Amino acid sequence: MGDYVEALGLVFQWHVLLVIGGGTLLGLIMGALPGLTAAMAIALLLPLTFGMPPVMGMGMLLGTLCGAIAGGSVSATLLNIPGTPSSVATTLDAFPMARRGEAGRALGICIVSSFIGGVFSAIVLSLLAPPIADFALRFGPAEYFALSVFGLVIIASVSSKSLLKGLVAGLIGLLIATVGTDPVAGVQRYTFNNLSLLTGVNLLPALIGLFAVSQVLKDVVDYFGGGPVEHSKSKMDHARPRWVETLRYWRVLASSSVIGTIVGAIPGAGGSIGSFLSYDQAKKMSKTPEKFGTGHPEGIVASESSNNALVGGALIPMLTLGIPGEAATAVLMGGLMIQGISPGPTLFTDNGSIIYGIFIAFFVANIFMLLIQWFGIQLFVKVLQVPRKLLMALILMFCFIGVYAVDADIFNVYLMLGFGVLGYFLNRYDFGTAPVILGLILGPIAESNIRRALLLSSGDWSVLVTRPISLTFLLVSAAFLFFTLWQNRRQTTPHS
Amino acid sequence: MVKTRSDALFHLVLLALAGWFLQQAWHLPANAAGGSLSPAFFPRAISLSIVILLLVSMVRGLIAGTLLSRDTSDSENATPVWVPVLAWCAIALLLVLYALFLEPLGYVVSTALFLFLCVAIVSVLSHQRGDAIKPVRVLMLALFSAAVSVAIFLIFSVGFEIVLPTIGVMGV
Amino acid sequence: MKKLLSVFGAATMLASSMTMAADYPSKNIEFIVPWSAGGGADNVVRALQPSLEKALGTTIVVRNLSGGGGAVGFSRAIASKPDGYTVTIPTNATFTLEGLGNVAFTRDDFDYIARVLVEPYVMAVRKNDAWQDLDSLSSDLKSSGKPLRIGASGVGSSTHIVSLMLGEALGLDIEVIPFDSGSAAVSAAMGGHIDGVVLNPSEVISAINGDRLTPIVTTGEERSSALPDTPTMEESGYDFELSQWRGIAAPKGLDPAIEAKWVEAVKQAVEDPQFQKAARSMGSDISPLYGEELDQFVEKTSKPLIEEARAIRQ
């Protein structure tokens, strides 16, 4: 308790709060720009934290992380540019809603949902971190494989137009995921002596190509074809946080926040699938599953609350075990170590006030995220008032700089263009692009872990069903698959 | 825009690509250490599944009659059908050129050119016959492109410390 | 005429390089980190950055070029001008990449400026009462006849190669399971899915302090300051010494005058208390080495790694 009081004193000083707010603002700006990831934003601010006390420095970096995740949804909503893989699920409903002329509403729902998801994960982080970390450790290769199978089942749920074509799209993602050095034997697959392909196809160019570039290519055609390109400006001024509307979906909020936190806590599970899993279960629980994908608020709530709950979840194994799950928390952990603090179980006993200070700073960062977006939302929607011709050119410019910024590698830019053309045609012929991303994210997890699991069991496949977590995931996957097929059938029969 | 049998065509393109991946996968080592799966297993299994599913999808499309149908939904539109196709190809070509010249010309020059040309292509193609192109607007666009590319360059390279290609003249 | 031109050219080049060295550094220095932000090497560079900037009197821009497990960044570094404005961070990965044969560069394409940190490799195993130290571990393994399943940080990584080398040196049946990262291997070992890991102390120190993994042996010249109670291989009676290291290197052909400025700057930077604190919490030992001695170290370390990596490739 004494630690908590001391920690409050560490956070609630005006200069600490100012720095957390500044970090959040910068994170938001960088997160909203395509290609600038949360990890890059944190790495940029890292040197500034060296001279600061630990809680102040970590507070700033946590603010940056929260801001970057939230900022990613702004560009996902307005422009169909998912800044991070985890905001892909947001584009599925928020972008159609914005296209209908309700960008303000979509952003309003995003803001409230992400705040609630973030605060929920902060509470879990401060109360339940050690037991959740122990649960995460029970994930071995077999469990990771079963989890990725569970994730792949979502392909059925996000391919709304044609299940068969959606499956093809998902498999295309899986196939592209095999490019690069094979994770277990080290064999080169489809690399053609290209150094940039040695570690596989970079996710960011794929993401930006499949979503943003393909969208602009479609807009070019629609611009002449008389399609629905102009955002109707009539409803634009209602841009404000939508508390009542969002809280009406309290069940979706609760389940998505839980899923986001737990998936975030499993290191390396491709945290970004958390928002897909939440989207999927919201669709299954919904009375109106057919509305998903057309600009339905429930879809936005599910993906956004889960998206920000991931952040708190990802901090759990980093702080309690010293295991960073993905790039952004890895940089955060680097920041802690440079401060002279090694994360892990000893952090709680040796540096109680610091760890509680970090928890409180994370709460504060979420509040700043809400406030900044609250004031910023009017500004965000103004982006859509830029004339369409200019906006298309500017979006493409940001895609280029963002993808180039990843590794300063022009190859990634070509990759993005290739994915842009592929995505355009996949959308045009109803294959869809979201399944490709799922395949790309989950492919490496599925392949490397099944091969590791079989290596450990000397080729015995029964490990997949003799381990409780793995068996549960596989059974639930099968059940979900049948449920989705049944739901699809129910939706399509009345029409035919 | 008319899509003549293009659903079938796209199926065939994907089929060819999947077939190529499958053929390449045959050259991968198929021996697996310790009873696990070989490096060739996943590429082969996935590309084979794609081929099979595409064939199923084509057969289904044939039966339903959607595969070879002409899509003439926007044919009543006033703009000639070739305009969007031309615009699409022009923008796609411009993107490739932008990527090609990004490093040789440096960020600022190539981006300014890209922005100018991108807007100009769309404007010219959507331009109604009889309207004169005003030189003032062209100049405005040129100024806008230059200003945006310089501003973005400064924000990213100075603000976010991202290394962008330069040609070493006056720091750009 | 040609001769005259070339003499003239050489003279101007010499002159320009002399002036270059005199007013070096006159612009920002690019520090290429061939891995993404947040990796072990990246943390080192970012911890060094402020004090190096102070010592050199210029801005250092850290550039993460993470493609190809280091291959892209190193290739880009050696392709740039050896004018001292582009440097990179050599580690054992520089050598294993060469051995695996995926890259066009060799260890001779770099001018090594300094070695800053060393970290031994440590073998750490999951909690098991029969596995307290090297002796109990190997006698238990020999009586049970089971292989020791060791997680490494990636296929072809230096931890993968050192695991194999340790197996040979200790006469143990070690089966290497490559993971996607060191932290993934540690969490698999903590969860009991594999028997242990061979990694650097910075990656396992949290798990060891949290009493989830037991350190068995380290491969350093001396005991690691992060694991003062764990014996080295040499202390345990094996002729085996190999450490991970992190340093600074430029593309081949660096002006000796500029190199001298760098060495001076590194000497100042390693004295910085803030950096020393960071190195300690990262589990690394500051062990600077320059010039001739550094070249000998590179020679001695790279040989076995390259040979063993070549063997993996087959």
Unique residue bearing structure tokens 């909020």: A253
CB–CB contact A186 C50 (8 Å): no
Domain that holds residue C158: 122-218
Greater confidence (B26 vs A269) lies with B26
H or E stretch including A425? helix A410-428
Mean pLDDT, rounded, for A271-278: 85
Q: Which chain A residue is nearest to residue B81, measuring alpha carbons?
A: A225
- For chain B, say whether A167 makes contact (Cβ under 8 Å): yes
Mean pLDDT, rounded, for A47-66: 90
- C64: which chain B residues are within 8 Å (Cβ-Cβ)? none
pLDDT tens per residue, range A190-245:
988 888 888 889 888 999 999 999 999 999 988 887 555 455 554 555 778 888 89
- B60: which chain A residues are within 8 Å (Cβ-Cβ)? 164
Say if residue B114's pLDDT is above 80: yes
C7 shares its domain with C90: yes
- Cβ–Cβ < 8 Å for B126, A224: yes
- Cβ–Cβ < 8 Å for A45, A6: no
CB–CB contact C209 A455 (8 Å): no
CB–CB contact C43 A334 (8 Å): yes
Cβ atoms within 10 Å, residue B83? 17
Greater confidence (A156 vs A300) lies with A300
Cα torsion angle, C106, C107, C108, C114, sign: positive
Residue A270, CB-side half-sphere exposure with 13 Å CA sphere: 24
Give me the amino acid identity at A362.
F
- Cβ–Cβ < 8 Å for A75, A53: no
The interface pTM score, or ipTM, of the predicted complex is 0.91
In a domain, C223, yes or no: no
Highest-pLDDT range among A32-36, A334-338, A431-435? A431-435
- Rounded to the nearest angstrom, the minimum Cα separation between B55 and chain A is 11
Q: Which chain A residue is nearest to residue B56, measuring alpha carbons?
A: A164
Distance CA A245, CA A291 (A): 16
pLDDT range class, residue A496, cuts 50, 70, 90: very low
Distance CA A58, CA A343 (A): 12
3-state secondary structure chain C: CHHHHHHHHHHHHHHHHHHHHHCCCCCCEEEEECCCCCCHHHHHHHHHHHHHHHHHCCCEEEEECCHHHHHHHHHHHHHCCCCCCEEECCCHHHHHHHHHCCCCCCHHHEEEEEEEEEEECEEEEECCCCCCCHHHHHHHHHHHCCCEEEEECCCCCHHHHHHHHHHHHHCCCEEEEECCCHHHHHHHHHCCCCCEEEECHHHHHHHHHCCCEEEEEECCCCCCCCCCCCCECCCCCCCCCCEEEEEEEEECCCCHHHHHHHHHHHHHHCCCHHHHHHHHHCCCEEEEEEHHHHHHHHHHHHHHHHHHHHHHHC
A178, A213, A450 member nearest B46 (Cβ):
A178
Subunits next to A (3 or more Cβ pairs <8 Å) are: B, C
A46, A323, A452 member nearest C186 (Cβ):
A323
C168 shares its domain with C185: yes
- A197: which chain C residues are within 8 Å (Cβ-Cβ)? 68
CB–CB contact C62 B163 (8 Å): no
- Chosen for mutation from C27, C32, C61, C83 (greatest number of chain B CBs closer than 10 Å) is C61
C28 shares its domain with C66: yes
B53, B56, B163 member nearest A171 (Cβ):
B53
How many pairs of residues across A and B have Cβ atoms under 8 Å apart?
169
CB–CB contact C187 A267 (8 Å): yes
* A:344-383 residues touching chain B, CB 8 A cutoff: none
- Chosen for mutation from B1, B74, B95, B114 (greatest number of chain A CBs closer than 10 Å) is B95
CB–CB contact A321 C36 (8 Å): no
User: Residue C248 pairs with which residues in a beta bridge?
Assistant: C114
pLDDT range class, residue A495, cuts 50, 70, 90: very low
C102 shares its domain with C159: no
Subunits next to B (3 or more Cβ pairs <8 Å) are: A, C
CB–CB contact A401 B152 (8 Å): yes
- C194: which chain A residues are within 8 Å (Cβ-Cβ)? 456
Q: Which chain A residue is nearest to residue B118, measuring alpha carbons?
A: A393
C37, C156, C184 member nearest A39 (Cβ):
C37
Distance CA A219, CA A159 (A): 22
C9 shares its domain with C112: yes
Q: What is the mean pLDDT of chain A?
A: 88
CB–CB contact A396 B29 (8 Å): no
Q: What angle do CA A114, A368, A357 make, to 5 degrees?
A: 100
- Cβ–Cβ < 8 Å for C214, C124: yes
* A:472-491 residues touching chain B, CB 8 A cutoff: none
CB–CB contact A183 C207 (8 Å): no
Domain count, chain C: 2
Cα torsion angle, B17, B18, B23, B25, sign: positive
Check residue A182 and give its pLDDT.
87
**Residue B164 neighbours by CB under 8 Å, 6+ apart:** A401, A404, A405, B107, B153, B156, B157
- Rounded to the nearest angstrom, the minimum Cα separation between B136 and chain A is 17
pLDDT range class, residue B105, cuts 50, 70, 90: very high
CB–CB contact C61 B34 (8 Å): no
Helix (H/G/I), strand (E/B), else coil: A73 = helix
Q: Which chain C residue is nearest to residue A345, measuring alpha carbons?
A: C210
CB–CB contact A330 C46 (8 Å): no
Check residue A353 and give its pLDDT.
86
Q: Are strands C243-251 and C110-120 parallel, antiparallel or unpaired?
A: antiparallel
- Rounded to the nearest angstrom, the minimum Cα separation between B70 and chain C is 44
How much of chain B, in percent, has pLDDT values that exceed 70? 83
Distance CA C121, CA C141 (A): 21
CB–CB contact C30 B163 (8 Å): yes
Domain that holds residue A11: 2-492
Of C218, C235, C262, which residue is a domain's last?
C218
CB–CB contact A217 B60 (8 Å): no
Of C172, C199, C218, which residue is a domain's last?
C218
Residues of chain C with pLDDT under 70: 1-20, 314
CATH code of the domain covering residue C142: 3.40.190.10
B114, B160, B163 member nearest A397 (Cβ):
B114
CB–CB contact C281 A455 (8 Å): no
Check residue C27 and give its pLDDT.
85
> Which structure tokens are listed for A132?
């959740």
Greater confidence (B84 vs A58) lies with A58
CB–CB contact A456 C184 (8 Å): no
CB–CB contact C38 A327 (8 Å): yes
pLDDT tens per residue, range C164-185:
999 999 999 999 999 988 889 9
CB–CB contact A190 B43 (8 Å): yes
In chain B, where the domains are located: 3-71, 82-159
CB–CB contact A322 C207 (8 Å): yes
- For chain B, say whether A187 makes contact (Cβ under 8 Å): yes
Check residue B2 and give its pLDDT.
38
Burial class (CB in 10 A: 0-12, 13-18, 19+), A4: middle
CATH code of the domain covering residue C58: 3.40.190.150
Distance CA A195, CA A191 (A): 8
Q: Which chain C residue is nearest to residue B158, measuring alpha carbons?
A: C61
User: Residue C151 pairs with which residues in a beta bridge?
Assistant: C177, C197
Check residue B68 and give its pLDDT.
67
- B161: which chain C residues are within 8 Å (Cβ-Cβ)? 61-62
- Rounded to the nearest angstrom, the minimum Cα separation between C288 and chain A is 19
Check residue B75 and give its pLDDT.
46
Q: Which chain A residue is nearest to residue C149, measuring alpha carbons?
A: A456
Distance CA A152, CA C66 (A): 27
Subunits next to C (3 or more Cβ pairs <8 Å) are: A, B
Mean pLDDT, rounded, for A396-409: 89
In a domain, C251, yes or no: yes
CB–CB contact A337 C210 (8 Å): no
Say if residue A404's pLDDT is above 80: yes
Distance CA A74, CA A69 (A): 9
Integer angstrom CA distances of residue A120 from A74, A126, A220, A282:
21, 10, 42, 18
CB–CB contact C61 B163 (8 Å): yes
Integer angstrom CA distances of residue A148 from A325, A440, A469, A473, C194:
16, 11, 13, 9, 20
- Rounded to the nearest angstrom, the minimum Cα separation between C282 and chain A is 6
Nearest partner of C213 among C122, C119, C136, judged by Cα: C122
Check residue A198 and give its pLDDT.
85
CB–CB contact C175 B34 (8 Å): yes
- Chosen for mutation from C36, C96, C150 (greatest number of chain A CBs closer than 10 Å) is C36
Check residue B3 and give its pLDDT.
47
Of C218, C236, C265, which residue is a domain's last?
C218
